[in-house]
Structure 1
Amino acid sequence: MPAKRKLTMRHIRQMLRLAGSGTSSREIAVMLGIARSTVQDNLKRAAMAGLSWPLASDLTDDVLEAKLFVHPGVKQGQRLRQEPDWGPLSIELKKPGVTLLILWEEYRSAHPDGYGYSRFCELFRGFEKRLSPTMRQEHVAGDKVFVDYSGRRVPIVDRKTGEIREAELFLGVLGASSYTYAEATWTQTLPDWIGSHVRMFTFFDGVPRLIVPDNLKSGVNRASFYDPEINRSYGVMAAHYGVGVLPARPRRPKDKAKVENGVKFAQSCILGRLRKQTFFSLTEANAAIAQVLERINNHVMRRLGVSRRNLFETVEQAALASLPTEHYEFAEWRLARVSTDYHVEFQNFFYSVPHGLIRSQVDVRATARMIEIFHRGKRVAVHQRRYGGPRYGTDPAHMPSSHRRYAEWTPERFRRWGASIGPQTEGLIIATLASRPHPEQGFRTCLGILRLYRDIGHDRAEAVSARAVEIGGLNSKTIASLIATYKGKKPSTEPAAVMEHANLRGPGYFH
């Protein structure tokens, strides 16, 4: 770095005033506390510039300094040595492994009398300060993509009702090239948030090392500088693509200045240019956004002299990791606790797990087609996802044996059990089921009757059944009494008619 001049313009004015009054150089040096050679050098500069005391009243310090210290034949602000083109150098610096030292060595090999390393760095930092805030950050190619939603939305009109619904504008900006992706989605919820990332990676045809999101709830459960808690579904998506997630610090907009600047640029270029267009669907809006996005990426940036697309294709694209061979399928993860009926709830539908997991905490993975349930990392249940129909999806293998037997009970099955004994017993079963408001309410009664018949022969059971239907004794207590009464008696050879009454539905009811 060149040495800084110690004399101020006030010292120079005093020096000229003393010299004009006839004071010698030695005396001036003593009076101002500087070297005699310095006095002589500055007086010589003043004589060459045609300056003498008294100075003109309108001669400012800036003009005086320019007259004394700017080299002859050199315009003010012009460098004395060959200066590199800083724009291409700033682009080269984004490439992996490139440092300022390497760039300086290449510069000196081309210009041996050029600037030293310290002055080279100083001039480069000065060039960086003249760039936009996003370009002042040093972003290595393929390192980061900054993602966020625009605060302004895209209005979309329903053709039938005329109702206006506003869609969100998602933006992703690569750090090194500022190559931009944008699309409209209906919401900022997790499916739309992750879906936008998947489509963004497809647009880039590659994956950077890190994603830098804002602390949106869809992506970050708990914001923290030291230990941010990433949403599990978002983390699974990132793991599928092999990319890390590094949320911006809360209330630190400079952490994502790249996308912040991209958001402002998109608002003016995308929303500003599309403000007079009317969209009737999300597809129409995204088609228009894609056209404006093409214009943004092909626009030549003034200070760098190249477009975002050119930077992306020449610097960043090769540094991106390849897309995975398998297509990503969105899956939402949730924690759930198994209820006492051994089912877990997901969006108002219920799915069974093995009954031994009652009260346990499980992980639910939901895709568009399947519901998978995991306990301690092991999948314990899988169901087809339900969107309508019965709210409960129950796998019989998950039920306790007693529940499983009850689930297998049907009116037809009880009729077959009764018919296996005889027609009178079948008639008794039909009458018992018909006597209840709902057949299921008679299941336990029928089961009790059939259990009582285990200890007697079929002939006696048929006689008891016929008598029970005749007197309307359609319960286990009456059957037990009739079994005791008919002990030792022979059954009638003529089958008793099934009793008819208002509650009797008949066999057609169960078909």
Structure 2
Amino acid sequence: MNKIRQVLRCYASGSGTKSISSMLNMSRNTVKKYLHLYQKSGLSLSEVLSLDDSSLYSLFQEKNQACDNQSPRYQELQSLLPDYAKRLKKKGVTRQQLFWEYQRTHPDGYARSRFGTYFQAYLALSHPMARLEHKAGDKMFIDYAGDKLSIIDHETGEILPVEVFVAILPCSQLTYVEAVMSQRKEDFIHACEAALLFYEGTPAAIVPDNLKAAVTKPSRYEAELNEDFAAFAEHYGCAVIPARVRKPRDKALVEGAVKLIYRSIYTKLEDREFYDLHSLNVAIRVALELHNNALLSGRTYSRREQFEELERDCMGPLNPIRFELKQRHTATVQKNGYVRLERHYYSVPYRYIGKKVNILYTGTTVDIYIKYEKIASYARNHKPYGYTYQEEHLASSQRVLTDWNPEKFLREAASIHGDVENYIRHVIEAKPHPEQAYKSCRGILSFASRVGNKRLINACRWASSSGLYNYPAIEKILKNRQDELPLEESIESAEQQMPTHENIRGKEYYN
């Protein structure tokens, strides 16, 4: 506006347009335009010079622009711009192509420069950008670099591409970089945890891209998070706020950080060979420290210094217990009230027999859920085909079986008579595994309630004398009422009738 006032003063003093142009270093056409608008306004020089900047601008600029805005070709272009802006989003469509189309259909329309100016102005008004203020300790942006690094397989010499994980705290711009084998959930969560350990604290929220390891179902309003990643964030007390789909501005800082590490880290790793992730990450960490400790452009402090001053104290406390990723398995509760996990069986409350349950397990723990309700929890047992149970999970009929043990049967037999206890001990010892004798012991001891203790004692004596230690022997003796015969007389008569032979064993063999 001061330039316009100077033009008018020089004109009033009698200077010509060429002289004014030379003195004020302006083009003659611009001088002529200002003088033309002054003469057209009908105002005196003193009246024009007394106007404030806003009124002067309106007098010399807006009217000229308003005339252009009212022209038919301007109105026609404005009606086309919404469709052009929509088509510009499609893959392969450029502004140059849209201008060529406009020129073909409107040969009397604007030239390339003016078309571009109006198109850009429309885009700016229809898609205004908000400036984000990043609070200390508020967010951590994470992403993967588009360009991968590589390691060499020791055995085959094959070059294996590896992903490069990038995290940044937007307030201090402190950056973390790590190479991982893939973008799978396990590697992704490991890299996120390594970033938190690097920062020695936790932000209020983590902002990931919409990759499968973080987001199961993207949404413009409320995305569905991957359950394991959500559990990781919960473990460290962080919220998860996924960036909007196809909205790179939501995480512009990490996008910019990726470009910076191409220059500050990738260039330092060129022409170097790495044979494992560890050695590659050691080299990355060295270059990363240089990157974080370098002064920011045009400033007197580095990312690390800014983090220590502004952000470290604002970070949340780091959970001292490392996150352990849980594996998932779905199983149906068997008829015996157990579920199988990798050749081992765990009990659940018997009322869930036939139901499908979710098993979350690690190397040390097993948690069993049904509809998000935990119904059982165990220490992990790796014994093949073993059974781990809790007493309260079993039905009453199952608890009887679990109560069976050698001591129980021996105590019950001893309460009847010492001979019965001795017989039961021989029954248990005769089997390769004690559990094989449990049913026989239960059946033998049940005769006490059916025929009485006395007959059972005698039957055990008769069976012992013959060296027969099993349920059928006792059953046959009681059925034939052999237990009612005197044991001594029967044995003596049997010995008198029995011939002497080296293959015939006497009663002494069984003592």
Place the TM-score, normalised by the shorter chain, in its bin: 0.5 to 0.7
Paired residue for 2:134? 140
Paired residue for 2:294? 299
Is 1:278 the counterpart of 2:273? The answer is yes
Paired residue for 1:322? 316
Aligned CA distance change for structure 1 residues 38 and 388 (closer, same or farther; 3 Å): farther
Tell me how far apart the structure 1 counterparts of residues 300 and 342 of structure 2 sit (CA, whole Å). 53
Tell me how far apart the structure 1 counterparts of residues 425 and 250 of structure 2 sit (CA, whole Å). 77
User: Pick from 193, 197, 203: which aligns with 1:202?
Assistant: 197
8 Å CA contact 2:143, 2:208 repeated in 1: yes
Q: Which residue identity lines up with residue 243 of structure 1 in the other structure?
A: C
User: Pick from 299, 308, 313: which aligns with 2:303?
Assistant: 308
Tell me how far apart the structure 2 counterparts of residues 446 and 410 of structure 1 sit (CA, whole Å). 10
Structure 1 portions without partners, runs of 5+: 6-35, 52-61, 71-128, 130-134
1:357 Cα offset (Å): 3.8
Tell me how far apart the structure 1 counterparts of residues 389 and 14 of structure 2 sit (CA, whole Å). 98
Tell me how far apart the structure 1 counterparts of residues 352 and 14 of structure 2 sit (CA, whole Å). 93
User: Pick from 197, 202, 206: which aligns with 1:211?
Assistant: 206
Q: What SS does the corresponding residue of 2:449 show, helix, strand or coil?
A: helix
1:463 Cα offset (Å): 4.3
Q: Which residue identity lines up with residue 180 of structure 1 in the other structure?
A: T
1:447 Cα offset (Å): 2.5
Q: Deviations over 1:262-301 (max 9, x none)?
A: 2343345434422433334443332221111112223344
TM-score (norm 1): 0.60
1:492 Cα offset (Å): 0.7
Q: What SS does the corresponding residue of 1:196 show, helix, strand or coil?
A: helix
User: Pick from 487, 491, 499: which aligns with 1:492?
Assistant: 487
TM-score (norm 2): 0.60
Q: Which residue identity lines up with residue 198 of structure 1 in the other structure?
A: E
Q: What SS does the corresponding residue of 1:404 show, helix, strand or coil?
A: helix
1:160 Cα offset (Å): 7.2
Q: Which residue identity lines up with residue 326 of structure 2 in the other structure?
A: E
Paired residue for 1:83? none
Tell me how far apart the structure 1 counterparts of residues 340 and 310 of structure 2 sit (CA, whole Å). 49
8 Å CA contact 1:415, 1:430 repeated in 2: no
Paired residue for 1:234? 229
8 Å CA contact 1:418, 1:429 repeated in 2: no
Paired residue for 1:32? none
Aligned CA distance change for structure 1 residues 294 and 223 (closer, same or farther; 3 Å): same
Structure 2 portions without partners, runs of 5+: 35-123, 495-502
Paired residue for 1:224? 219
Q: Deviations over 1:213-246 (max 9, x none)?
A: 0123332222212121223443344344443211
Higher helix share: 2
Taking the TM superposition and a 5 Å limit, the aligned residue runs for 1:340-351 are 340=334, 341-344=336-339, 349-351=344-346
Paired residue for 2:251? 256
Paired residue for 2:20? 48
RMSD, aligned CA: 5.1
User: Pick from 392, 398, 401: which aligns with 2:393?
Assistant: 398
Tell me how far apart the structure 1 counterparts of residues 329 and 266 of structure 2 sit (CA, whole Å). 39
Q: Deviations over 1:367-403 (max 9, x none)?
A: 5533344668775433222456556432344322322
8 Å CA contact 1:433, 1:439 repeated in 2: yes
Tell me how far apart the structure 1 counterparts of residues 346 and 181 of structure 2 sit (CA, whole Å). 29
Q: Deviations over 1:439-496 (max 9, x none)?
A: 75554344223313433345532543566685979555x7545423217723413898
Is 1:382 the counterpart of 2:377? The answer is yes
Aligned CA distance change for structure 1 residues 43 and 440 (closer, same or farther; 3 Å): farther
Q: Deviations over 1:311-345 (max 9, x none)?
A: 43455445x33325754543538585661343455
1:308 Cα offset (Å): 3.1
Q: Deviations over 1:13-58 (max 9, x none)?
A: xxxxxxxxxxxxxxxxxxxxxxx9999999943343369xxxxxxx
Q: Which residue identity lines up with residue 49 of structure 1 in the other structure?
A: S
Q: Deviations over 1:81-135 (max 9, x none)?
A: xxxxxxxxxxxxxxxxxxxxxxxxxxxxxxxxxxxxxxxxxxxxxxxx9xxxxx9
Q: What SS does the corresponding residue of 2:210 show, helix, strand or coil?
A: coil
Q: Which residue identity lines up with residue 172 of structure 1 in the other structure?
A: A
1:194 Cα offset (Å): 3.2
8 Å CA contact 1:49, 1:68 repeated in 2: no
Tell me how far apart the structure 2 counterparts of residues 390 and 444 of structure 1 sit (CA, whole Å). 22
Tell me how far apart the structure 1 counterparts of residues 278 and 249 of structure 2 sit (CA, whole Å). 33
Tell me how far apart the structure 1 counterparts of residues 490 and 422 of structure 2 sit (CA, whole Å). 12
8 Å CA contact 1:184, 1:286 repeated in 2: yes
Q: What SS does the corresponding residue of 2:179 show, helix, strand or coil?
A: strand
Aligned CA distance change for structure 1 residues 428 and 205 (closer, same or farther; 3 Å): closer
Tell me how far apart the structure 2 counterparts of residues 4 and 342 of structure 1 sit (CA, whole Å). 92
Q: Which has the higher contact order (CA 8 A, sep 6+)?
A: 1
Aligned CA distance change for structure 1 residues 346 and 443 (closer, same or farther; 3 Å): closer
Q: What SS does the corresponding residue of 1:351 show, helix, strand or coil?
A: strand
Paired residue for 1:243? 238
Aligned CA distance change for structure 1 residues 467 and 217 (closer, same or farther; 3 Å): farther
8 Å CA contact 2:333, 2:353 repeated in 1: yes
Q: Which residue identity lines up with residue 287 of structure 2 in the other structure?
A: V
Q: Which residue identity lines up with residue 46 of structure 1 in the other structure?
A: K
Aligned CA distance change for structure 1 residues 276 and 67 (closer, same or farther; 3 Å): farther
Q: Which residue identity lines up with residue 138 of structure 1 in the other structure?
A: L
8 Å CA contact 1:139, 1:175 repeated in 2: no
Tell me how far apart the structure 1 counterparts of residues 258 and 172 of structure 2 sit (CA, whole Å). 15
Tell me how far apart the structure 1 counterparts of residues 156 and 282 of structure 2 sit (CA, whole Å). 23
Aligned CA distance change for structure 1 residues 50 and 264 (closer, same or farther; 3 Å): closer
> When the two structures are aligned, how many residues end up with a matched partner?
394
User: Pick from 442, 447, 462: which aligns with 2:442?
Assistant: 447
Q: What SS does the corresponding residue of 2:221 show, helix, strand or coil?
A: coil
Tell me how far apart the structure 2 counterparts of residues 222 and 178 of structure 1 sit (CA, whole Å). 29
Q: Which residue identity lines up with residue 278 of structure 2 in the other structure?
A: T
Paired residue for 1:339? 333
1:147 Cα offset (Å): 0.7
Tell me how far apart the structure 2 counterparts of residues 459 and 42 of structure 1 sit (CA, whole Å). 147
Is 1:352 the counterpart of 2:347? The answer is yes
Tell me how far apart the structure 2 counterparts of residues 467 and 207 of structure 1 sit (CA, whole Å). 79
Tell me how far apart the structure 2 counterparts of residues 410 and 212 of structure 1 sit (CA, whole Å). 58
Aligned CA distance change for structure 1 residues 479 and 325 (closer, same or farther; 3 Å): closer
8 Å CA contact 1:337, 1:359 repeated in 2: no
8 Å CA contact 1:329, 1:367 repeated in 2: no
Q: What SS does the corresponding residue of 1:218 show, helix, strand or coil?
A: coil
Q: Deviations over 1:415-453 (max 9, x none)?
A: 776676565785588569858x97755543442233134
Q: Which residue identity lines up with residue 449 of structure 1 in the other structure?
A: I
Q: Which residue identity lines up with residue 339 of structure 1 in the other structure?
A: V
Is 1:176 the counterpart of 2:171? The answer is yes
Taking the TM superposition and a 5 Å limit, the aligned residue runs for 1:417-436 are 421=417, 430=426
1:181 Cα offset (Å): 0.6
